[in-house]
Chain A
Amino acid sequence: MRKIPFLTLLAAGAIASFTPLTNVHAAGISVGVPADVQTMEPNGASTDSNLSVMANIFDGLLQRDASGKLIPALAESWERVDALTWRFKLRQGVKFQNGNDFTADDVIFSFKRIATPELSAFVNFGKQIESVTTVDGDPWTVEVKTVVPVPFFDQNLHQIFMMDKESTENRKPGDVGQHPIGTGAYSLAEWVKGSHVKLKANPNYWEGAPEIKEATIRPAVEGSTAMASIMSGTVDVLQGVPVEGVKVLEKNPKLTLVKRPARRAIFLGLTNAKGKPGADLRVREAIAHAINEEKIIQKVMFGFAAPAAQVSDPATVGYNPAIKRAKYDPELSRKLLAEAGYPNGFDITLSGPNNRYVNDEKILAAVAADLAKVGIKVKVDAKPKSIIFDEYKQHKPEFYLLGWFDGSYDFGRSFAKLLHTYDETKGTGTWNAANYSNPELDAIAEKASNTIDPKERAKVLQELGVKLQDAFGFIPLHYQMDLYAITNAKGFDFKPRPDTWIVFKQIGKKG
């Protein structure tokens, strides 16, 4: 009896020596990220944490450089022919990681695929595509026609990834979702779900093989785990340093802390339905002046946030640097409330998530405390995101907190979703949680959609921003701050991107 376990052990040991799955000490970069990788279905998740990984394995027709600028990728050039038509000149000689050639058929296939609800988190974008065809018998020119004018169509193409038609059609969806085949700078070497994703450089990449040969992405979801992973050297770069841990890491001479304003803005929305206090512009203005954002940034965000004057960030088309925040002035606020007929304030419920944004529940409490000082009695209703966002979509709140950045870098698209009058058939106002409605703003937004010239359009959107600010359509609070810690010893030249994607081909080595 005694010999069996020993023999088993011996046999197992023999297997062990032949098939090691991972080698943690290999050269390359290891990155700690705050959210787990969900799927290898390239457009199956719209979270930046997932898109970030996909952007290494796959390419879109276009891509963004480290500063967020749109540049060519699998398309060498592109133009908007008319309101509904976009034309792309494809790059020739690109190969997928299985050796197949990248052709127009793959483009047609990939665009069709993103309209499939079972496989895509970009259904809305996919459904706006009417047809994808090659033009004038040229197999390298592709024309996309949209159902309605989609002025930001190109702005979204860095996150619509091109798949190999042949190998995707011949495999089960379950297999496609685990073993990705792209044209990207890296191919998937190993995915231990919940633990890590390992990528290896694609030697035949069309831009040339990347400098970093091996990259490991490790989710470290718990704040304390993330801290331990960078302090112990398990990861070389940590994304999403917990704000509570910044002071500790700053003192560590082996690490460099990098921060940049995030794209996401946190803001408040308020109903302007007839009979509600928010229908009076003076009340909206009063609320804007009553919130002490400086204090929220210092006390709630530990200084790691930047005050916001508008919902879009500087990288977004339609951002207007001329817009300024309403300044903190509770005295003025009380005066405005009295003028509006609320000298003793009023009661209102403020809805918001408690597990979505950095310290979201504490922000809600701070806003409630500030408004109490001018007489507005706020009841905070904080719930988990999966529940509260459902209420948002049913337009239940009258006063709410939301965070937003536009993945397609377009303020027009943000406005259509966030504040345009809710209209189910047109698909506008899906996220207009408190059913705000302002026909003047809607009209400007529609004008922007029909403007083809990108420069002209940006101007119209900037004008929309000003009008929105004058109407206090939103009460912007702050931009979150993206925080990274980087180990100095290995000499990685890492610059965080505005969209928080970690694109390894853009990371160099110093010296």
Chain B
Amino acid sequence: MWKYISKRLAQGLIVLLIVSSLGFIIFQFLGDPVTAMAGQYATQAELAEVRHALGLDQPIYIQYFNFINNAVHGNFGMSYMARLPAAEIVFQRLPASIELALAAEVIAIFFGVTFGVLVAAFPRSAFSKFIAFGALFGVSLPSFAVGISLILVFAVIFPILPPLGRGELVELPWGWQTGFLTLDGLKHLILPAFTLGMLQLSLLFRLTRSGMQEALRSDYIRTARAKGLGHISVLFKHALRNVLIPVVTIIGLQFGQLIGFSIVTESIFQWPGTGNLLLAAIFDSDFPIIASYIILIATLVVLLNTIVDITYAFLNPRIRYD
């Protein structure tokens, strides 16, 4: 097991190296941050001075080497625009993204799995047809369309939910600001979490439904029914359990994506998370922020994938990593 974990972490490091060098190559085409930093009146000599102060006048491979060297020592440089340590800025914005992803995940699991079970159990009801139709929308509609429609309906036409921001926050230890603990914070969470969770909700729904349809036809279910077990018990205790294994895998794998791909949702709802930060940083060619973000998200995804693989082995003892 330990051998497997260390192997996975080593692979993760290689992924990080590749991702960071890709980021570096992209940065060369992002444009020049120096103009915005020095102000529009700066002369070429002053621009050169700023460029030198940032080390941007050196050849690309030296810049990359310095970047990796500093990163290993925990220094991701100063944000060009904020003139503050980049990693600190990204970390300050991370709680917002993680909470949004968690909320989206919970919504997706709750509605996705419940609807999946119900629709498989009662395929002919009007409710099932409606849900199946809705799921098609959930898969095919881009999140900006979902988000804007939700804002229009629930914030503008019926002003019951706020359209933007995170609302009232509470400071937890280690500077983690949470919106989970206030009513206002939860209200702000609903629309963006639904928007972000919609795609995964639809995927989980379809996965659960097809799994359940398969399971409900199998012999052990018939046996359970024949024993006289209740309908609910058969559905959730017997059938769903067997369906859950692939569902759990998907949930784990997609959590990283929920954090990484929340950019669109965050920008629609002006959610103060990392996605919004990345977008602004790309516009401003603020490379230290972009690099910190890429490394942080890549680390998260690698860690999550490793954890999923390990949990999988615990869930199903037949799987071994040697």
> Which residues of B are found within 8 Å of A220, using beta-carbon distances?
164, 270
Q: List which B26-80 residues lie within 8 A (CB) of chain A.
A: 29-33, 35-47, 49-50, 53, 78
Q: Which of B37, B53, B165, B170 has the most CB of A within 10 A?
A: B165
A45:B273 contact, CB within 8 angstroms? no
**Chain A 204-231 against B: per-residue CB contact (8 Å), 1 yes, 0 no?**
0000000000000011111011011101
A386:B270 contact, CB within 8 angstroms? no
B89:A193 contact, CB within 8 angstroms? yes
A234:B38 contact, CB within 8 angstroms? no
Stretch at the interface among A10-18, A304-312, A318-326, A484-492: A10-18
Name the contact of B38 in the complex, choosing from A124, A193, A384 (C-beta under 8 A): A124
B83:A46 contact, CB within 8 angstroms? no
> Which residues of B are found within 8 Å of A194, using beta-carbon distances?
93, 96, 270-273, 276-277, 280
A386:B38 contact, CB within 8 angstroms? no
Query: In this assembly, does B85 line the interface, its C-beta being within 8 Å of a C-beta of chain A?
Result: yes
Shortest distance from the beta carbon of B162 to any chain A beta carbon, whole Å: 6
> Which residues of B are found within 8 Å of A231, using beta-carbon distances?
155-156
CB nearest to A425 among chain B residues: B45
B38:A121 contact, CB within 8 angstroms? yes
> Which residues of A are found within 8 Å of B213, using beta-carbon distances?
none
Expressed in whole angstroms, the Cα–Cα distance for A401 and B43 within the complex equals 21
Known contacts A20-B182, A118-B53: A196-B165 contact under CB 8 Å: yes
Q: Which of B30, B33, B44, B93 has the most CB of A within 10 A?
A: B44
Query: In this assembly, does A390 line the interface, its C-beta being within 8 Å of a C-beta of chain B?
Result: yes
CB nearest to A127 among chain B residues: B46
Known contacts A192-B272, A225-B151: A174-B84 contact under CB 8 Å: yes
A228:B267 contact, CB within 8 angstroms? no
Expressed in whole angstroms, the Cα–Cα distance for A192 and B176 within the complex equals 12
Name the contact of B84 in the complex, choosing from A39, A219, A232, A384 (C-beta under 8 A): A39
A39:B37 contact, CB within 8 angstroms? no
CB nearest to B264 among chain A residues: A222
A118:B168 contact, CB within 8 angstroms? no
Expressed in whole angstroms, the Cα–Cα distance for A36 and B273 within the complex equals 13
Q: List which B248-297 residues lie within 8 A (CB) of chain A.
A: 267-273, 276-277, 280, 283-285
B168:A21 contact, CB within 8 angstroms? yes
Query: In this assembly, does A113 line the interface, its C-beta being within 8 Å of a C-beta of chain B?
Result: no
B169:A225 contact, CB within 8 angstroms? no
B270:A390 contact, CB within 8 angstroms? no
A225:B42 contact, CB within 8 angstroms? no
> Which residues of A are found within 8 Å of B151, using beta-carbon distances?
224-225, 228
Interface magnitude class on chain A: 35 or more
Known contacts A194-B273, A390-B32: A16-B85 contact under CB 8 Å: no
Known contacts A117-B38, A123-B49, A174-B84: A16-B181 contact under CB 8 Å: yes
A228:B163 contact, CB within 8 angstroms? yes
Known contacts A192-B169, A228-B151: A424-B44 contact under CB 8 Å: yes
> Which residues of A are found within 8 Å of B280, using beta-carbon distances?
36, 194, 221
A12:B181 contact, CB within 8 angstroms? yes
Known contacts A194-B276, A386-B31, A386-B32: A124-B43 contact under CB 8 Å: yes
A15:B170 contact, CB within 8 angstroms? yes
Known contacts A123-B39, A124-B38, A390-B35: A193-B272 contact under CB 8 Å: yes
Query: In this assembly, does B148 line the interface, its C-beta being within 8 Å of a C-beta of chain A?
Result: yes
Query: In this assembly, does B167 line the interface, its C-beta being within 8 Å of a C-beta of chain A?
Result: yes
Known contacts A13-B181, A15-B172, A387-B31: A124-B41 contact under CB 8 Å: yes
**Chain A 171-200 against B: per-residue CB contact (8 Å), 1 yes, 0 no?**
001100110000000000000111110000
**Chain A 122-146 against B: per-residue CB contact (8 Å), 1 yes, 0 no?**
1111010000000000000000000
**Chain A 375-393 against B: per-residue CB contact (8 Å), 1 yes, 0 no?**
0000000001111011001
> Which residues of A are found within 8 Å of B155, using beta-carbon distances?
228, 231-232
> Which residues of B are found within 8 Å of A430, using beta-carbon distances?
41-44
Q: List which A210-266 residues lie within 8 A (CB) of chain B.
A: 218-222, 224-225, 227-229, 231-234
B169:A21 contact, CB within 8 angstroms? yes
Q: What is the total number of residues of chain B having a CB less than 8 Å from a CB of chain A?
A: 67
A228:B156 contact, CB within 8 angstroms? yes
Query: In this assembly, does B177 line the interface, its C-beta being within 8 Å of a C-beta of chain A?
Result: yes
Expressed in whole angstroms, the Cα–Cα distance for A20 and B155 within the complex equals 24
Name the contact of B169 in the complex, choosing from A22, A218, A229, A389 (C-beta under 8 A): A22
Known contacts A12-B181, A39-B82, A123-B49: A417-B167 contact under CB 8 Å: no
Query: In this assembly, does B81 line the interface, its C-beta being within 8 Å of a C-beta of chain A?
Result: yes
B267:A221 contact, CB within 8 angstroms? yes
B167:A22 contact, CB within 8 angstroms? yes
Query: In this assembly, does B219 line the interface, its C-beta being within 8 Å of a C-beta of chain A?
Result: no
A384:B168 contact, CB within 8 angstroms? no
CB nearest to B167 among chain A residues: A24
Shortest distance from the beta carbon of A278 to any chain B beta carbon, whole Å: 24
Shortest distance from the beta carbon of A396 to any chain B beta carbon, whole Å: 13
> Which residues of A are found within 8 Å of B30, using beta-carbon distances?
386-387
Query: In this assembly, does A19 line the interface, its C-beta being within 8 Å of a C-beta of chain B?
Result: yes
B49:A117 contact, CB within 8 angstroms? yes
Query: In this assembly, does A452 line the interface, its C-beta being within 8 Å of a C-beta of chain B?
Result: no
Known contacts A16-B170, A16-B181: A225-B283 contact under CB 8 Å: no
Q: Which of B151, B268, B270, B276 has the most CB of A within 10 A?
A: B270
Known contacts A15-B172, A218-B270: A431-B40 contact under CB 8 Å: yes
B168:A24 contact, CB within 8 angstroms? yes
> Which residues of B are found within 8 Å of A385, using beta-carbon distances?
31
Expressed in whole angstroms, the Cα–Cα distance for A387 and B36 within the complex equals 12
Expressed in whole angstroms, the Cα–Cα distance for A220 and B156 within the complex equals 15
> Which residues of B are found within 8 Å of A20, using beta-carbon distances?
168, 170, 182
A224:B148 contact, CB within 8 angstroms? yes
Expressed in whole angstroms, the Cα–Cα distance for A234 and B32 within the complex equals 36
> Which residues of B are found within 8 Å of A232, using beta-carbon distances?
155-156, 159, 162-163
Query: In this assembly, does A438 line the interface, its C-beta being within 8 Å of a C-beta of chain B?
Result: no
**Chain A 40-76 against B: per-residue CB contact (8 Å), 1 yes, 0 no?**
0100111000000000000000000000000000000
Query: In this assembly, does B152 line the interface, its C-beta being within 8 Å of a C-beta of chain A?
Result: yes
Expressed in whole angstroms, the Cα–Cα distance for A173 and B88 within the complex equals 13
Shortest distance from the beta carbon of A76 to any chain B beta carbon, whole Å: 28
Query: In this assembly, does B171 line the interface, its C-beta being within 8 Å of a C-beta of chain A?
Result: yes
CB nearest to B267 among chain A residues: A222
CB nearest to B284 among chain A residues: A386
Shortest distance from the beta carbon of B155 to any chain A beta carbon, whole Å: 5
CB nearest to A393 among chain B residues: B35
Query: In this assembly, does A355 line the interface, its C-beta being within 8 Å of a C-beta of chain B?
Result: yes
Query: In this assembly, does B209 line the interface, its C-beta being within 8 Å of a C-beta of chain A?
Result: no
Expressed in whole angstroms, the Cα–Cα distance for A425 and B45 within the complex equals 8
Other contacts beyond A121-B38, A390-B35: 12, CB < 8 A: A12-B181, A15-B171, A23-B168, A24-B184, A36-B280, A39-B82, A44-B82, A117-B37, A194-B280, A222-B267, A222-B268, A229-B163
List 18 A-B residue pairs with CB atoms under 8 Å apart, sorted by A's residue number.
A38-B81, A39-B83, A44-B82, A123-B38, A178-B84, A194-B273, A196-B165, A218-B270, A221-B270, A221-B276, A222-B268, A234-B164, A386-B30, A386-B284, A417-B41, A424-B43, A425-B45, A430-B42
| Nearest 9 CB-CB pairings of A with B | A386-B31, A427-B43, A194-B272, A195-B272, A228-B163, A124-B41, A16-B181, A387-B31, A121-B39
